Structure 1
């Protein structure tokens, strides 16, 4: 039996005072053309790095947001798919809730460094916009509107919610 290698990642559900969520626009090259995916800011946990340190680093690098304290862990996602993360058989994403005032994302990474990570921009999205979106771009997770609605409404039980693809 082959060993499954999963990339460990952290992501932040960044909600502003209007309950809009900050998402990164990932443009992923594919053989048939690029795929656009809107996903929460974050990224890989480096060897020897704590989950909290990785979250703080990723938010600072990508968006410029500096967080204090330990935000609540709200979602967990495991995707087993060899094509999902380069050099891995899949990914484990742990999502943390970060509440903040709206801001213009501008992190420590240059535009070229962001592009090397397939990030081509940021946008604040309202829940209705996500739920009603009918374009060709994807969201991660695919049904982002459902767990996001529960999170915004405060219907979360305090337990970490397991997400699908």
Structure 2
């Protein structure tokens, strides 16, 4: 039987200070919170960049006119990563922008229904130094982020682990 993987398009939204915009997801099933790049599920027959643009407008109010480069690819198979699925596939695209105050098209209640309970800009140093109870997605977000910032765009998307 083929795996049922939830496909998502996510944006590494970096401002002019190299701060990364992350959404805080309260995962009821796991009793945890995870900071993840804005973005989300790619609907059946939807192109990844179309899904990315839709999700960015809804979650943080960012309108992206250009086609951002695909920089990371992540596949995680296992129970507990996406309800009703065997795992997730996340494709990450780099979006550079001036800093802004996130305010998406969705209301706070609509965001909460999608488990998003906060949005925050993080510096790479803050991500690497964080020792609180929340997790990041990917777990070692600081490492590939530092690599991206120091080496620039990869020739091929970097394959990420959990």
TM (normalized to structure 2)?
A: 0.97
- Whether 1:90 aligns to 2:87 is yes
Of 125, 147, 158, 2:155 maps to 158
Inter-partner Cα distance in structure 2 for 1:140 and 1:83: 14
Q: Which portions of structure 1, spanning 4 or more consecutive aligned residues, are displaced by more than 6 angstroms?
A: none
- Whether 1:70 aligns to 2:88 is no
Inter-partner Cα distance in structure 2 for 1:80 and 1:117: 21
Give a deviation string over 1:120-149, Cα, whole Å, max 9, x none: 010000000011111111000000000000
Counterpart mapping for 1:53-132 below 5 A: 53-132=50-129
Give a deviation string over 1:5-56, Cα, whole Å, max 9, x none: 001100000000000000001111136xx20100000000011211110000
Q: Which runs of 5+ in 1 are unaligned?
A: none
- Whether 1:14 aligns to 2:13 is yes
Inter-partner Cα distance in structure 1 for 2:58 and 2:29: 26
- Whether 1:42 aligns to 2:36 is no
Question: Contact 1:150 / 1:156 at 8 angstroms: preserved in 2?
Answer: no
Aligned residue number for residue 28 of structure 2: 29
TM (normalized to structure 1)?
A: 0.95
Inter-partner Cα distance in structure 2 for 1:149 and 1:73: 17
Inter-partner Cα distance in structure 2 for 1:63 and 1:43: 12
SS at match of 1:130: helix
Aligned length: 162
Q: Which runs of 5+ in 2 are unaligned?
A: none
Inter-partner Cα distance in structure 1 for 2:35 and 2:106: 19
Inter-partner Cα distance in structure 1 for 2:137 and 2:156: 20
Inter-partner Cα distance in structure 2 for 1:135 and 1:110: 27
Question: How far did 1:76 drift?
Answer: 0.1
SS at match of 1:102: coil
Question: How far did 1:158 drift?
Answer: 2.1
Question: How far did 1:153 drift?
Answer: 1.3
Question: Contact 1:75 / 1:95 at 8 angstroms: preserved in 2?
Answer: yes
Question: Contact 2:12 / 2:95 at 8 angstroms: preserved in 1?
Answer: yes
RMSD: 1.1
